[in-house]
Amino acid sequence: MVAPPAVRRVLTVLALALLLPALTVPARAQDPSTHREPGNGAERSTVAASAAAPRTLLAAAGENRPDGDQAGYPRWTTLRVFPENRADKAIKLGLTPYHDIAPALNELQARTDRVSAEVVGHSTQGRDLYLVTVTAPESATEARRQDRWRELIENDPVAAARDPRLAREYKAPVWINANIHGDEWEGTDGALRVIERLATTDDPAEVAMLERTRIYVTVTNNPDGRVAGTRANAAGFDVNRDHITSTQPESRAVRDVLIRTQPLVMLDEHGYTGTTLIEPGTPPHGQNYEYDLYLKHAYDNALGMEKAIAELGHPETARADIPFRDFPPGEWDDWPPIFTPMYSIYHGAVGHTVEVPLRVNRAEYDRLPVDELRRRAGINTDVAAATISAAIEYTDSHRSELIADQIELFRRGWAGEPQREIPDGYVPGFGEEDRYSVEFPRAYVIPVGSGQRSERAAARLVDHLVAHDVRVTRAQHAFRLAGTNYPKGSYVVDLHQPKRGLANVMLAEGLDISADVRRMYDISGWSHGLLWGATVDVSRTQAPTVRTTPVTVAAPTGEVAAPRASELALDLVDGADIQAANFLLRKGIELVLREDGTVVVPASARRDAAEAAERFGVRFTRARGGERGTPLRAPVIAAAVAADELAVLRQLGFDVRPVSTEALNAGFDLGEVDTLVVSSGLVHGRLTAGATQRLAEFLADGGVVTRGATGAAFNADAGLLPVTAVAGRGDANGVVSVTNAAGPIGAGAPAHAFVYSPLWFTGLGEGVVAEQRYAEPDPLVSGHWLPGDDGNGPAEAAGEAAVVSGVAGQGARTVLFGTEPLFRDHPKGLYAQVGKAVFWTAAG
């Protein structure tokens, strides 16, 4: 007798659990230094398999089962089961350890036809990232119709608005993201509770709701952090600061989920703020939003979630903090697109951060009795489940209006219509302080050819835009726009497109909001257009009149453009150029570093240069005659740096060995090190006598690169360059204009840099060169930078040195950065400047 499908699925799950060999999660990489966090405000907040994950096993364990209709719903996937890990930090709280999630989802899939689970990516350490879809069953035909309607809403919103069947039958998508901060656990457990309830409910109203709704849940966005009890992922990155940069596998996975599912409403479940917190946020509001379409739903949905937690009956959940309603401007803003909910607004969602109330992490995790921790975690789980359920209910009850408003958002983009003026009282409390808007430009052009600073940087930017669902086209012939001639092949980002807000928030220079609020929650300025190293031109009013083709991937950029038998030159203008130079050095090629920062490659290494050009997309040209320069060797770096800086230094191909005060005191060997990089975790005054002596011996011929206040203090304490470091306000941040000198570090650097807690250098002593200065009269282009109590603001920094170089009295070549060239793996156009600093200091 043949077993029914449900029984077959149970047997399959059991068989797989018995047959799969024990899965070992790859060991964590050497622990980087703690990631920087802002000094103000409360905490808040398809990808290839990780190379560390066993690829064949992933394929075997993650394939869809053939006994389901995989084109429709449910889409049964037997998830691989991870070995029990008693060190999982969730266990102490009475919450679900990571290793229990897959068995629970496998079991649910086995006993219901409303749940589908799949793997949508892998964490830094190779753990599976799960997406669960809860909905009423759909045939393959019905699922394809839903997909076509979703695409129609984005691609032809006018037709979508006129489709009566879409209005009646389109399933409202809701997306719940949980546990993006690893030590904020309860969103996962609240989501699992809601999934199980909806999977098994007999309530006619909920069954009917599932006929009208698809609920998508990324059950844990940061499983490595969940297990380890850390806010950051295993690479030391705060994933909830990474969305428009998407450097981390965890953020790329949910980016792709967001684009694929196009939710009407989304929640990002966090903790812990004492009182439950539910967005919308305070001003300043993101100026590129269609804020009228967002706010009315966000405010009403927040009120519904507040009502739901009050009904739990816990004294701790009697009310919520809704920042828009309850906080002063700047306290909990929705300005930057780095947070999951803010980023999701640009894709058509009504996004909310939800913070469950009662702290169970960090000091409390170790200090409080287990019973109290579990009591708190239980209340937090109730809050997470209640807010999720309330958001689903809001989506269902406002389904027609939410669909119409998402259609309207995309229609405005295609039509190029201006944003709407929002009247006072649009929702209770809305007033002049809430009005932020932008006049969208007509188009951006990313040129190719002689007008492009870096072809490789341009290609990287184009590929990034496309990955984020921004429409980019390529000109089929030369054209003229806004007084500039552009060659064939130049890239065009026409702002008449559905996600124009996202395109503009990535490419525009941004806005100086220093005068608007006294402080900000996190960064206030960013710009891929100014900080990613590519030339990006803006046309305010004119559209290009040129035939174009859609771009799915940027054109190749690697080239060896020089006669045979000639020496080759590699201009270090992009991080890819640094990677290529390190690649050649590791192959034993003898390179020469010239004073202008150019690397000369011998003619005999042409084949190796061609390989580097192909691999990294860089361009080699014929080397000019003249001075020979300094022989270059593959540098070994000892790095006392933050996690984001460590990651970039390794991306650039350097041999990096983490170091700290404690490591030096414990006997860290500087004998093989060429350059010491200091920005975090190394205090000269705390070194033992022995460590101080070994450091002094290193400084006799080793190089030093520093960044920030810690680096400047190290420079002063070690008696390196004779300069005075002046600090701006600690929370000041943004994009700044700079002027560059023709020195080894400044030559060819971009005209913009990024700052966070900016420094500048005065009183430059003999032999110290200002490689880069803050522009005059006001260097701040976008962001938030007010004078501190000492009066030091952007006006005081104007004209002062932002980056300096020189040879210290001990003999060490030294470079000091007052800017943030590696911040969160974001200002990619500045990486070459740091790479050149390492090469120059190591070549001394």
The pLDDT tens digits for 12-33 are 434 433 333 333 333 323 333 2
Three-state helix/strand/coil letters over 304-343: HHHHHHHCCCCHHHCCCECHHHHCCCCCCEECCCCCHHHH
Same domain membership, residue 652 and residue 796: yes
Judgement on whether residues 155 and 258 belong to the same structural domain of the protein = yes
**420: pLDDT strictly greater than 50:** yes
- Whether residue 472 sits in one domain with residue 406: no
- What the block records as the tokens of 387 is 């807010």
The CATH code of the domain that includes 314 is 3.40.630.10
Going by the DSSP 8-state scheme, the letter that residue 132 receives in this structure is E
pLDDT of 596 reads 81
CA 172 to chain centroid = 27
Torsion angles phi and psi, residue 176, rounded to 5: -115, 125
* pLDDT score, position 422: 98
For the domain that residue 679 is a member of, what is the CATH number?
A: 3.40.50.880
Domain of residue 619: give its range: 559-632
Mean pLDDT of 444-473: 98
pLDDT at 44: 27
Helices (H), 587-688: 606-616, 643-651, 661-665
Say how many C-beta atoms besides its own lie within 10 A of residue 27's C-beta.
8
Q: What is the pLDDT of residues 474-489, one digit of tens each?
A: 999 999 999 999 999 9
Give the tokens for residue 226.
Answer: 């969940």
Q: Report whether 559 contacts 707 (CB < 8 A).
A: no
Give the 3-state secondary structure percentages of the chain, helix then strand then coil, rounded to 5: 35, 20, 45
Is residue 623 situated within a structural domain?
yes
Q: Would you state the pLDDT for residue 625?
A: 83
Residue 300 domain flag: yes
Confidence grade of residue 3 (pLDDT, cut at 50, 70, 90): very low
500 in the same domain as 400: no
Domain boundary among 490, 523, 550: 550
When mean pLDDT is compared across 2-16, 126-140, 265-279, 798-812, the lowest value belongs to 2-16
> Does residue 83 carry a pLDDT above 80?
yes
Mean pLDDT of 411-431: 98
| pLDDT tens digits, one per residue of 135-159 | 999 999 999 999 999 999 999 999 9
| Other C-beta atoms lying within 10 Å of the C-beta of residue 4 | 9
Examine the domain organization and report whether 376 and 478 are in the same domain: no
Classify residue 13: in a domain, yes or no: no
Q: Is residue 449 within 8 Å of residue 478, measured between CB atoms?
A: no
pLDDT score recorded for residue 844: 74
Whether residue 373 is contained in a domain is answered as: yes
Among residues 527, 550, 573, which one ends one of the domains?
A: 550
Percent of the chain with pLDDT over 90: 89
On whether residue 53 sits in a domain, the answer given is no
Judgement on whether residues 604 and 747 belong to the same structural domain of the protein: no
Q: Are residues 127 and 154 in the same domain?
A: yes
Of 550, 572, 600, the residue that ends a domain is 550
Residue 633 contacts residue 590 (beta carbons within 8 Å): no
User: Is residue 50, in this structure, part of any structural domain at all?
Assistant: no
Same domain flag for 251 and 395: yes
Can you give the C-alpha Rg of the chain in angstroms? 28
- pLDDT level of residue 595 (50, 70, 90 thresholds): confident
**Both tokens assigned to 550:** 């859609």
Q: Is the pTM of this model over 0.85?
A: yes
Give domain status of residue 38, yes or no: no
- Mean pLDDT rounded to a whole number for the chain: 92
Which band of pLDDT confidence, cut at 50, 70 and 90, is reported for residue 626?
Answer: confident
Q: What is the mean pLDDT of residues 345-362?
A: 98
Q: Which of 118, 269, 355, 820 is catalytic?
A: 355
Note whether residue 55 is domain-resident.
no
pLDDT(87) > 70:
yes
Instruction: Output the pLDDT for position 45.
Output: 29
**What tens digit of pLDDT does each residue of 32-55 get?**
322 233 333 333 222 222 223 322
Q: How many domains does the chain have?
A: 4
Asked if 311 is an active-site residue, the reply is no
Q: Spell 435-470 as b/e; 16+ CB within 10 A means b.
A: ebbbebbbbbbbbbeeebbbbbbbbbbbebbbebbb
For residue 214, pLDDT beyond 60: yes
Q: Would the pLDDT of 712 be above 50?
A: yes
Query: What is the pairing mode between strands 115-122 and 128-134?
Result: antiparallel
Contact indicator for 675, 838 with CB cutoff of 8 Å: yes
User: Do 333 and 459 fall into the same domain?
Assistant: no
The CATH number that applies at residue 593 is: 3.30.70
> Cα angle vertex 540, ends 537, 541, to 5°?
130
7: pLDDT strictly greater than 90? no
Is the Cβ–Cβ distance between 673 and 637 less than 8 Å?
yes
623 & 655 share domain: no
pLDDT at res. 50: 29
Answer yes or no: do 528 and 490 share one domain.
yes
Residue 18: predicted pLDDT: 38
Average pLDDT over residues 567-577: 97
Q: Are residues 316 and 175 in the same domain?
A: yes
